A and B are shown apart, each in its own frame.
Chain A
């Protein structure tokens, strides 16, 4: 049983008997019979080895990949019904990609501004002010006029976060946010995600529901509240950190036996 389903908080993401495909091959099965509920205010860490399909799984969770079978609901609405007419519902989910996935023809500033310019019918000055505030808060101002190709990977990842936050999502899915970062950036991300989970001033104090993926569960100890594992075409809900430590699953043991274990 999923711990969050008993919390009494409304579910924001539900997968029922879902079979997940991959972005390159919709016929392939990435994970079968997934049953998972993410409730409002949850902070999930989904661990998995390299190549386990964490990115595709997150894209499925965000509704970017259709499930092969099963039911996928976002904010209580079936995903199949989230067409153009329900775009506001769709925009309640934010996604941060591993490499930031910024648009190469736009500067960092324009990348961050794009969702607000596209979706919000606000005066340009108001949008520019919001972008300026976001860039300042995320430390991206020095890179604002750069194209993504000239920005280091760590800052591109931050720009991806800033861009996703511009639409003030309620559920934020982050694909390997800490991969390839040095200690300074890792600390920044952990601090920021903890603040977002509590309710950041940038989002007017509303707590954000978070799902992160990664190869190393240790780093999320004390930050994430729920853990899951994606391994060998299976999605396993592990529970809290104490339950992760008690798990006898060989992949969990292998992940826990990493450099921090000692």
Chain B
């Protein structure tokens, strides 16, 4: 693990805050840059291990990845079905009244695509997985680091990044992609149900035609890419905070808080980046 230990980051974190406000801001900036550097290095190490050890211990890794997909995907399905119903209700409940007033009910499908497919679906999925699985990642890996499990893996000639991080990255990327698809499908269906209950004169056929008309190949491509990137980012940020620095048990909770905050900021930035990409390509 010495390859990505960052003593300077730890020293910076541990030193008392300077009295001057400018110095304080400067220290925060340096901390941010060091964190970005550490995360970048950790992501590159993970990518390197993923590529160079793709064929190593495939039986063990397959089981680990399957377990992570179940954790970051399958086991969250009931919660996501509930969220899908709620999201459909929220979006349709708000938009139906406004679209009816301006006589634009034909845009219901378009609103669903713009709001749910392009924006809320992927981002909401990422944030819920960050809260439910990302936090668990930091706690598990931080505890493993603090109790010497990571050293035990190294003593057995097992690369901790290969055994602990790679399955989480793959599992979380695939889990978030699948959950987003289920969330969007659920929200689209529940949206129509809510519209139907509000006596909106819209047949299922028209609704589907509206949806199909608003969707383009770019939506499918960017949705897949964005959700996979969300998964990779959340896994990298949470694993980095759990693994990359030596932790004591008492430090695990603070590392978890840091990881969630940074994961959230990274997801929002990535989402903004994808908006720019979409607008650039679609223009």
Nearest CB on B from A171, distance (A): 12
Please tell me if the beta carbons of B151 and A163 are within 8 angstroms of each other in the complex.
no
Cβ–Cβ < 8 Å partners of A117 in chain B: 57, 59-60
Cβ–Cβ < 8 Å partners of B157 in chain A: 87, 90-91, 115, 118-119, 167
CA distance A167 to B115 in the complex (A): 55
Per-residue CB contact flags for chain A residues 163-196 toward chain B (1 = under 8 Å, else 0) read 1100100000000000000000000000000000
CA distance A119 to B159 in the complex (A): 11
Given A66-B2, A97-B151, A99-B148, A115:B143 Cβ within 8 A: no
Cβ–Cβ < 8 Å partners of A124 in chain B: 59
Nearest CB on B from A27, distance (A): 8
Contacts between the two chains (Cβ within 8 Å), count: 66
Q: Does A103 contact B (CB under 8 A)?
A: yes
Q: Does B206 contact A (CB under 8 A)?
A: no
Q: Of residues 1 to 35 in B, which have CB atoms within 8 Å of A's CB atoms?
A: 2, 5, 7
CA distance A101 to B148 in the complex (A): 6
Cβ–Cβ < 8 Å partners of A115 in chain B: 156-158
Please tell me if the beta carbons of B2 and A105 are within 8 angstroms of each other in the complex.
no
Please tell me if the beta carbons of B152 and A102 are within 8 angstroms of each other in the complex.
yes
Per-residue CB contact flags for chain A residues 4-42 toward chain B (1 = under 8 Å, else 0) read 000000000000000000011011000000000000000
Given A23-B246, A117-B60, A97:B148 Cβ within 8 A: yes
Please tell me if the beta carbons of B148 and A163 are within 8 angstroms of each other in the complex.
no
Most buried by A among B57, B59, B155, B157: B155
Nearest CB on B from A212, distance (A): 15
Q: Which B residues form the contact surface with A (CB < 8 A)?
A: 2, 5, 7, 52, 57, 59-60, 140, 143-144, 147-149, 151-158, 163, 246
Show 8 residue pairs from A and B whose CB-CB distance is below 8 angstroms, ordered by the A residue.
Answer: A26-B2, A26-B5, A64-B151, A84-B52, A95-B155, A101-B152, A104-B144, A164-B156
Q: Which A residues form the contact surface with B (CB < 8 A)?
A: 23-24, 26-27, 59, 62, 64, 66, 84, 87, 90-91, 94-95, 97, 99, 101-105, 114-115, 117-119, 124, 160, 163-164, 167
Known A97-B152, A99-B148; further 9 A-B contacts with Cβ < 8 A: A23-B246, A26-B7, A104-B143, A105-B140, A114-B60, A115-B157, A118-B158, A160-B152, A164-B156
